[in-house]
Structure 1
Amino acid sequence: MTDLSHLADPGAEIAVRVTPKASRNAVVQDADQIRVYVTTVPEGGKANAAVQKLLAKALGVPKSRLDLVRGQTSRDKVFRIT
């Protein structure tokens, strides 16, 4: 898993690109973009919850400190660290 703890500043907004129904769960940082792969399906917020959990683990913060700001139904999402 990619270590993103250097991005874990309070108030920071983190943009991610999500791939649901992937073969494995992973967080990958390519140059300036963060990609999150989750095995869950995008139904009823299940994929969003999985993304939040994985991203929180990569950032080293509790998942309760991550808020989904934009992209509830989109593959491009923005999370804010509170």
Structure 2
Amino acid sequence: MSVRLTPGSAKEAIGGGWTDAQGACWLMARVRAVPEKGRANDALIALLSKRLDWPRSAILLESGDTNRLKRLRIIGGGAAAARLTAHIATWVEQT
């Protein structure tokens, strides 16, 4: 999953899409946590876990530790892949 994270936001939210210069689409997310010592990354994983109803331990940050553009891996989505994909597609369509 590709996410463009905005830390230090007034509220936590997931929704909307952002396209980079290479044409890749990124899901947009905002968290209240500041980008210090991994706090914003932890908050993003917690937010996704809550919204997807998925274990936090099954959502891993693969890249983007100190970057606003993150790549995450969701483990164990085989049986629930359709549900996860539907949630994510709904979020990207939001403005």
Is the shorter-chain TM-score for this pair beyond 0.5, marking a shared fold?
yes
SS in 1 for 2:48: helix
SS in 2 for 1:39: coil
SS in 1 for 2:42: helix
Match runs of 1:6-25 below 5 Å: 14-25=1-12
Moved over 2 A (4+): 29-33
Identity %: 38
Aligned counterpart, 1:38: 31
Out of 43, 65, 69, which is 2:62 matched to? 69
* Structure with greater helix percent: 2
SS in 2 for 1:47: helix
- Alignment gaps of 5+ in structure 1: 1-13
RMSD: 1.4
TM-score w.r.t. length of structure 2: 0.67
Q: Indicate the structure (1 or 2) with the bigger Cα radius of gyration.
A: 2
**Equivalenced residues, count:** 69
